[in-house]
Amino acid sequence: MDYPIREFAMGGGILIAVVAILHVVVSHFAVGGGLVLAVLETAAVRRDDRPMRDLVKRASKILLLLSTVFGAISGVGIWFTIGVVHPAATSSLIHTFVWAWATEWAFFLLEVVTALAWVATWEKVSPRTHLLLIWLYAFAAFLSLVVIQGILGFMLTPGAFASTASFFDGFLNPTYLPGILFRTGACLALAAAWMAFAALRERDRAARARLSRVLGAIGALGLAVAAAGWIVWERALPGSVQHLFLGEKPLLAALATGRTHTFRVLLVAALLALLVTALPRLQSWPIALLALVASAGVLAGYERVREGVRKPWVIAEQMFSNGVLLTELDTLNEKGILSKAVWATKEAGGREVTMGEAVFRAECSSCHTRDGYLGIRKIASAMDADFAAMFLTALRDDGANWKARAAGQDVKPDYPFMPPFVGTDEERNALAGWLASLNAPQAAEVAGAR
């Protein structure tokens, strides 16, 4: 099935990243908040600890707003953006995992209902009933993470799914558990970092220090779990993915740098958490804010790396990020990409679209913008039409390498972060001409100067 193409000046990937990172940070707050609040409220009831109970109560409204309002809205926002930017992949994931999505929906519903009931019933129901509500919330929120992680992991490491097409092979994939470990740690760290502000509002100095210490310890624990989860996650990746960002000469240097920076940020967050645990009286707004930003940065950095190393796939070993399936390379080389991507020639703001531009829209615009992120005008600036045609031929031949690798052979594609070019010779030449034409004015100037 083919879908209309919507180009964004900033690049569809960046748009998804902006919406997704907001959602991811908030949803991890919501999950971690549930766990931490449930544990702390239980401790407060058991020990009749008034300041602890007040802390939980102060934090409860924010939890409600974050999970039911912001989490829900930004979650819908993700569906909108991925539906527009990657319609084919969205459809494929819905079809493969329809019951997982349904389960996720049910847990989210339980999450919203229990959050509302919990916040509304302070002092109105028995402590036991109130505890039951927050534990139900924590359970539902955590299980929604457990479900989503199956699908996110599948997109990068489909495991045995390629040969069995079994739901559970795809869902319980090689990075499933490591991802859950990392995310659980990140959830705890974020929740503790955010609740630190609620602790600072405690008037009594001794109580304030005690609460800050507890939260600092939870934050440090969360960050340690996250670091361990990340390392285990990296080990669970196939070698071909590890080569992209690990080792001496990573293929995607920017992602390797991003990883290093994220680990530094993690270290800063962990040191702050340990500092507050050891010397809780030092806890203050600036420190709490720095710890919060750093914890969110760890999560954002992980998501960036995870999304980045999936290139050139949107669903690994199945669908390239331009919607082309591994199984249809030969057909499309014979019949042409435009036999499938009929929308690529249409709807470009009412303007006439040449064949070359249409091929670009169909095959390249999921990653390259014209002048923004991975801007093609700049990237192709040294290419004349002949050179571009040669490049595209090499890129088309790379398809054989992708197929061999998916069949389990130890083959390295020449362009490990780009899908193979597909299309007829006519389409290839049209795209080559279009790429060369992008810098034609400059070329003409040079010619004039001669």
Q: Applying CB under 6 A, which residues contact ligand HEC?
A: 311-312, 321-322, 363-364, 366-368, 374, 379-380, 391, 417-419, 421
- 34 vs 323 by CB, closer to ligand HEC: 323
- 112 vs 364 by CB, closer to ligand HEC: 364
- 347 vs 414 by CB, closer to ligand HEC: 414
CA angle 340/344/346 to nearest 5° reads 120
Q: 251-264 burial, b for 16+ CB within 10 Å, e for fewer? A: bbeebbebbeebee
Alpha carbon distances (Å) from 326 to 174, 332, 422: 21, 10, 11
Cα radius of gyration rounded to whole Å, the chain:
25
Place of tokens 């990937």: 13
- At 280, list the tokens: 């809780």
Q: 427-439 burial, b for 16+ CB within 10 Å, e for fewer? A: bbbbbbbbbbbbb
- 133 vs 314 by CB, closer to ligand HEC: 314
Smallest separation (angstroms) from ligand HEC to the CB of 84: 17
Place of tokens 């569809």: 12
- At 134, list the tokens: 């927050």
Distance between CA atoms of residues 121 and 33, nearest Å? 18
- 190 vs 251 by CB, closer to ligand HEC: 251
Smallest separation (angstroms) from ligand HEC to the CB of 266: 26
Smallest separation (angstroms) from ligand HEC to the CB of 303: 17
Smallest separation (angstroms) from ligand HEC to the CB of 364: 3
- 196 vs 364 by CB, closer to ligand HEC: 364
Distance between CA atoms of residues 314 and 86, nearest Å? 8
Smallest separation (angstroms) from ligand HEC to the CB of 310: 9
- At 32, list the tokens: 């971690």
Distance between CA atoms of residues 174 and 94, nearest Å? 20
Smallest separation (angstroms) from ligand HEC to the CB of 391: 6
Smallest separation (angstroms) from ligand HEC to the CB of 149: 23
Residue 49 CA neighbour count, 13 Å, CB half = 19
- 254 vs 342 by CB, closer to ligand HEC: 254
- 234 vs 363 by CB, closer to ligand HEC: 363
The residue among 413, 420, 418, 410 whose CA lies nearest residue 239 is 410
Smallest separation (angstroms) from ligand HEC to the CB of 273: 35
